[in-house]
Amino acid sequence: MSDLPTALTAEHAAIFGYGIAGAHLTGAAQDAARAAEAAHRARRDALLLLLAGTPTSAPPAAPVYALPFPVTDGPSAMRLAIHLEERTAAVWQRTLGTTTGDQRRMSLDALTDCAVRATRWRKAAGVNPATVPLPGTT
Amino acid sequence: MPVRTWVNDGWTRRSLLTAAVAGLGLGATAACGIFDDEPPTPPDSDPLEPLLAGTIALADRYDATIAALPELTTRLTPVRDAHRTHATELARMIGKPLPSSSPAATSSAPADAAAAVAALRTAEQQAQRAAADACLAASAKRAPVLGSIAASRATHVEVLS
């Protein structure tokens, strides 16, 4: 049994979170939030397609997801973006151990993309260092 | 059948007997290891050995670059430390002590900071592919950590851009 349904739930939550974060960002940061949201939507759609061909049921998106802290301005929106990428990376990292072949490759691509976006957000937010030694384990 | 061939080729029974005894002797010597405290025959090399060696070499390369270009210390130290963490994780998975690094063996870093960063960036891209290949080929138990190592290297490319 793979963790792909869990990954789908995480992608649903990331898409919701970026909707909130994007509303509090401007300029290049808002563009980055929109691009990240689009990337998570693409991953979600790929997962939905994949799960449609299996007996595993795809969890639907919830109307609302709890935020880890209040998001009221640009800095808190960037913190949320970092949080979303770290949390989604962690789910995909676990999925690597329950998949093989193309599904593992998809999980690795997803983990890598989340880690790179988290690093970009840390750079944008002035978090130093912008990298973590083992993305997905924090 | 082989005996006849050897005899026809000029081998005598005596030389065959000598060879057979020599063979027994070799067998007995090898068997001694079971009873003595000699180290056992090394097991087949772990598929992660090349990745571990490459990781240590990469960390050493960062050390050499930092030594040659101190202005890059702040930028490169977290990346160097990440590679050391990866080496520790890989050695743990392989089940052997972490080999010591040999900074003296590494090639000298470029004299120019921009060229040095560009060279490291290329090395990280290659290292990312190596870790990704290892992740895709690994057991379920090893794949998550190897995936984290591959993803980490992608983030290094990002901070070296």
**Rg of the Cα trace of chain A?**
15
**pLDDT at res. B108:** 67
- H or E segment to which residue A85 belongs: helix A74-95
ipTM: 0.96
Tell me which chain B residues have a C-beta less than 8 angstroms from the C-beta of A116. 151, 154-155, 158
- pLDDT, mean of residues A33-53: 96
Angle (CA) A74 A79 A81, round 5°: 95
Find all residues with CB under 8 Å of B28, minimum gap 6, and list them: none
Tell me which chain A residues have a C-beta less than 8 angstroms from the C-beta of B82. 131-134
How does residue B44 score in pLDDT terms, banded at 50, 70 and 90? confident
Tell me which chain A residues have a C-beta less than 8 angstroms from the C-beta of B150. 108, 111-112
- Alpha-carbon gap, residue A113 to A119, rounded angstroms: 10
- H or E segment to which residue B59 belongs: helix B49-68
Predicted model pTM: 0.84
Find all residues with CB under 8 Å of B70, minimum gap 6, and list them: none
Token output for A126: 């002035």
Is the pLDDT at B58 greater than 90? The verdict is yes
Comparing A124-133, B1-10, B61-70, the range with the smallest average pLDDT is: B1-10
pLDDT digits (tens, 9 = 90+) for A75-122: 999 999 999 999 999 999 999 999 999 999 999 999 999 999 999 999
pLDDT digits (tens, 9 = 90+) for B18-40: 444 444 444 334 444 444 555 55
**pLDDT at res. B99:** 85
pLDDT digits (tens, 9 = 90+) for B76-109: 999 999 999 999 999 999 999 998 776 555 556 7
Token output for B128: 């990312």
Find all residues with CB under 8 Å of A6, minimum gap 6, and list them: A91, A94, A95
- pLDDT, mean of residues A115-134: 98
Closest in B85, B136, B147 to A93, CB measured: B147
Handedness of CA A108, A111, A114, A116 (dihedral sign): negative
End-to-end CA distance of chain B: 70
**pLDDT at res. A25:** 98
Q: Is residue B26 classed as helix, strand or coil in its secondary structure?
A: helix
- For residue A103, CA distances in Å to A2, A100, A106, A110, B56 come to 9, 6, 5, 11, 30
Contact A137 B140 (CB under 8 A): no
**pLDDT at res. A53:** 87
